[in-house]
Each structure stands twice: as structure tokens, then as C-alpha cells.
Structure 1
Amino acid sequence: MDFLISAAHAQEGAAAGGGMIEFLIMIAIFFAIMYFLIIRPQSKRAKEHRAMVEALSKGDEIVTNGGLLAKITEVGENFVKADVADGVNVIIQRQSVAAVMPKGTMKDV
């Protein structure tokens, strides 16, 4: 069959693929993108939440992760006691507080 098709001789070229330096640069760029888009914003949010939880005090109106709106009546080390309605008190873990609302929010509801 070799007599019907002439043999093509390819010219020897450079090795396929990039070298080790290009690979390391690509990994560094990927890590930088991951850091600025995922790691940094998440750590910033965690730091803000930690500061908010440490600053909780009596009289603050809060919203929990479950969506419960309450007013803090007592503050403990790990838990807070909150008044949901007249005569209805709940004990909430400090870390489950999602946000501190402006004063007077419970009156509007």
C-alpha cells in the first residue's frame, strides 16, 4: 500500500505543551483569582459577624438565622434571652443572630 501514497515526512518541531514555569504561573493566577473572589470576601463577612455578635447588648433588636425578630433582655456568654412578644421569652445561641435591626423595628411590626 505504500506505493499508492507517498510517505509524508513531518518536520520535527518543539515539544508539545508548556514548560514547568508556565504551569506554575497558571497555578499562581488561579490561586489569586480564588483568593480575591472567594476566600477574602468570606473571611471579611465572618469577621464582621464575629464583631456584631460580640457587641450584642441588652435592648438590641435582632433577627435570628431562622427569621425570628426579638428584643434582647439578657446577655450571657454563649446565649441571649430575647423577648419575642409580651410574656414570650426565648433563649437563642449568640452565633445564630443574623442581624441587629434599628431601634423601633418591633414597634413597626
Structure 2
Amino acid sequence: MSQQASTLILVVLMVVAFYFLILRPQKKRQQAMQKTMRELQPGDRVLLGSGLFGTLLSIGDKQAVMEISPGVELTVLKQAIVRRATEADEDTLTEDEVGDELEAEATATYDTGDPQPVVRADADAPSGTTVADNDRSNLR
């Protein structure tokens, strides 16, 4: 076998391997995603790429309207929908857990670390204007 023939066989094998290892699986994933998008119906629970869960209210050609919480609706691109949500995807909180979280948040204190800004008269400013000591808008 000549050098050219073995090189040609090697190139053909690489193209075939590329097709079966990369192109074909990608095409199958794309077809499965398109099938999922066609089968979506209002009322389906879906997961967005950003991690938001919601219930589909309506589906258009390019956009979908979903409810993420009672009375809170979002309009999203259909491309943002990753898949139907399963029970395994979602954590369900009991009323006690939700109540405990809200109570803890309501009683929490936050230390911002910034003292109250001191307001003083600025010598260069027109009369009657003041500048806060932590105002750094003139710095560049």
C-alpha cells in the first residue's frame, strides 16, 4: 500500500469518527429538544436555563408566558426553556419551613459597616449647598 493511500484512509476514518462522535449526537440532542418544545402545553411545569421554575400559561412561536409564583407572570424566549421540570428537580417546603424562614428574615439585623454620612458646608459650593463627607463623585 502506498503512502498516499494510507493517508487517504486515515483522513476518511477521521471524518467518519468526527461524524459519529460529534455531529450525530449533537443532531439527536437538537431533534429531542425540538420535539420537547413542540409537545409543551399550557399547564406544564418547566425549568429555564437561569434556574427558574414556572408553569406555562401560553406558548407562542418565539415566546412563552409562564407563572413563577401566584400572580407573577414572566414572558420568556422559548429558547430559555431547558426542559419539563420533574418532581426530583423541585424542593417542596412545608408551611412550617416557610414560616421559619420568613420569621428569621424579619428579625435579622444587618450591619452595613458604613457610618451615617456627615454633612458639611462646602467652601467652594454656592451658598446653601452641602456635601456629604463620603461623596466621591468628584474623584476620577
Q: Same fold (TM over 0.5)?
A: yes
TM-score, normalised with respect to structure 1: 0.75
Q: Which residue identity lines up with residue 34 of structure 1 in the other structure?
A: F
Q: Mark the runs of 5 or more structure 2 residues left unpaired by the alignment.
A: 94-140
2:24 maps to 40
Could you tell me how far apart the structure 1 residues matched to 2:92 and 2:8 are? 57
Give the Cα separation in 2 of the matches to 1:66 and 1:93: 12
- Give the number of equivalent residue pairs: 91
**1:69 corresponds to:** 53
Q: Distance in 2 between matches of 1:97 and 1:90?
A: 12
**Alignment identity in percent?**
22
Q: Which residue is equivalent to 2:66?
A: 82
CA contact (8 A) 1:70 1:106 kept: no
**Secondary structure in 1 matching 2:42:** coil
CA 1:81 to 1:106, structure 2 compared with 1: closer, same or farther past 3 Å?
farther
TM-score normalised by the chain length of structure 2: 0.59
Match of 1:26 in 2: 10
Q: Which residue of 2 aligns with 1:49?
A: 33
More RCO (CA 8 Å, sep 6+): 1
Structure 1 runs of 4+ with >6 Å offset = none
Measure the CA separation in 1 of the matches of 2:67 and 2:90.
11
- How much has 1:107 moved relative to structure 2? 8.1
